[in-house]
Structure 1
Amino acid sequence: MCGRYALNTTATELIEHFQLLSCPEFGLRYNIAPASQIPVIRFKPDTGRVGQLVKWGLVPSWAKDPSIGAKLNNARGETVSEKPSFKTSFARHRCLIPASGFYEWQTVAGKKRPYYIHPTDGMFAFAGLLAAWKAPGGETLVTTCIITTTPNEVMVPIHDRMPVILEAEEYDAWLDPGNQDIEALKLLLRPCSAEGMTAYPVSSAINSGRVEGPECVQHVETGDGS
């Protein structure tokens, strides 16, 4: 799964890096938890790539109430095209979720040790899904989730899942709402290359969603050489 990540960059930097036409402002975040408002990237026909702030935790259009979003922060790549909660979004409403890095917890002697995993240069783009839910009062809630897959070589010692991280040359195919080639899209849901990716232990203080700031991504010594 992916339950925490960081995006310590600006809207201007996202616009430049992902070639966006626009992106709303947001604060630098080092410990983003589910239920947060987060920037995603989508493709608007006749317009192009744009940034949008949405809530992390997918609420399908057919849901009775938005509380289901607390259980739908992630979608497994192996079943995302089949599960009722995700299949419509997978076919029609895909997005990129930009990230500077993400956290995962390694179990060591029965205890959870947090790691920060990030690219050695630039940013990640997670494969994400979007959904729009209409409240009884008429308001529309737009939500997202992160698709996960099996681990690559960097992640194997840490956890058995990781986010699907897309390559730049895959962005257009993923974002295109007219692309409904389900089998081709499923081929993108694989572990990314471990090249250019690094991981190190960080403070367990990030276990609290209230902890923020650059200290979240600082390398800490574990006593075993990590």
Structure 2
Amino acid sequence: MSNLFINRLISIEDHSNRWEDFAFQEKNYKEAYQKHNLTGLPIKPNDHFWYLRQLNNKTFLSFGSWGTKQTFADGGLITTAQSERIFTSSFWKSYSTNRCLIPVFAYFEWQMQQTGKKHKFKIEFIDKETYFAGLWGSGPNDSTWVTIITQVANEKTAEIHNYGDNKHRQPVVIRRENQDQWIDSKINEEKKIKSLITQFQPEEITTEDQDSEPTLFS
């Protein structure tokens, strides 16, 4: 996926109704919610955003940065993790119980045209209660970082995400019936975790070419 998504902000009341034993510590969340709840918050790598994780049997609304710097990545920022590597990579396996959910409206992807130009596509979810799957880790001074888990793209998103080292990938969306188990850190059997990962389909999204150029037939 590209380096931009829209973080969906949810009222504390709706969070409390959705999650059992819900808790939050961010004093600025209510202010941010009032400002961004209708449009969402655009997030780029290193930006901070809100996500859900489980701590001490409570579902916490937490504040973390997108991406982590690790020595094996040559100093680059790691913003995604492939679902296929959660248990095959020693690094990601060590975070396999640190699963989280990221509320989103949409994300953006680049498509290479036959002309050699790149067009920016907005991929928006029809279900307005969509959550990306993520993994989180601890940083300095009680901070946290988050990566978004990706998988093989469906035919529609594969057509859009058609170039680059990680082409034909899309974020993992955790369906409502799997969300409580996804953030349950007591669940860590590989087969079970993989069963919670499904692929969102073309009919579940709308796409918009934001660099579409007018033609004689437009």
TM range (shorter): 0.7 to 0.9
Structure 1 residues 120 and 190: CA distance shift in structure 2, 3 A: closer
Q: Please, which of 80, 102, 105 is the counterpart of residue 100 of structure 1? A: 105
In the alignment, what sits opposite 1:50?
60
Amino acid of the residue matched to residue 106 of structure 1?
Answer: Q
Deviates most, 121-130 or 79-88: 79-88
Which 4+ runs in 1 deviate beyond 4 A? none
Give the CA RMSD over aligned residues: 2.9
Structure 1 residues 123 and 117: CA distance shift in structure 2, 3 A: farther
Residues 3-30 of structure 1 show CA distances to partners (whole Å, capped at 9, x for unaligned) of 2101253444762685372443135245
Give the deviation of 1:72 after TM superposition.
Answer: 1.1
In the alignment, what sits opposite 2:190?
182
Note if contact 2:51-2:101 (Cα within 8 Å) is conserved in structure 1.
yes
Note if contact 1:98-1:125 (Cα within 8 Å) is conserved in structure 2.
yes
Give the deviation of 1:202 after TM superposition.
Answer: 1.9
Separation in structure 2 between the aligned mates of residue 128 and residue 112 of structure 1, nearest angstrom: 27
Residues 49-91 of structure 1 show CA distances to partners (whole Å, capped at 9, x for unaligned) of 22100111135xxx67xx95x421001111122223321112x
In the alignment, what sits opposite 2:3?
3
Give the deviation of 1:129 after TM superposition.
Answer: 0.2
In the alignment, what sits opposite 2:156?
154
Note if contact 2:7-2:50 (Cα within 8 Å) is conserved in structure 1.
no
Separation in structure 1 between the aligned mates of residue 122 and residue 13 of structure 2, nearest angstrom: 21
In the alignment, what sits opposite 1:214?
none
Note if contact 1:201-1:222 (Cα within 8 Å) is conserved in structure 2.
no
SS in 2 for 1:155: helix
Q: Percent of aligned pairs with the same residue?
A: 23
Separation in structure 1 between the aligned mates of residue 152 and residue 91 of structure 2, nearest angstrom: 21
Structure 2 unaligned regions, length at least 5:
162-167
Aligned length: 199
Separation in structure 2 between the aligned mates of residue 14 and residue 153 of structure 1, nearest angstrom: 34
In the alignment, what sits opposite 2:87?
81
Q: Does 1:171 align with 2:176?
A: no
Q: Does 1:132 align with 2:157?
A: no
Structure 1 residues 179 and 163: CA distance shift in structure 2, 3 A: same
Amino acid of the residue matched to residue 57 of structure 1?
Answer: G
Residues 155-205 of structure 1 show CA distances to partners (whole Å, capped at 9, x for unaligned) of 1220111100110011111111000111221233342233331111125xx
Q: How does 1:112-131 map to 2 (within 5 A)?
A: 112-131=118-137
SS in 2 for 1:129: strand
TM-score (norm 1): 0.76
Separation in structure 1 between the aligned mates of residue 210 and residue 14 of structure 2, nearest angstrom: 25
Structure 1 residues 98 and 183: CA distance shift in structure 2, 3 A: same
Separation in structure 1 between the aligned mates of residue 137 and residue 48 of structure 2, nearest angstrom: 14
Amino acid of the residue matched to residue 105 of structure 2?
Answer: S
Which has the larger share of helix?
2
Structure 1 residues 222 and 12: CA distance shift in structure 2, 3 A: farther
Structure 1 unaligned regions, length at least 5:
204-220
Note if contact 1:127-1:147 (Cα within 8 Å) is conserved in structure 2.
yes
In the alignment, what sits opposite 1:222?
213
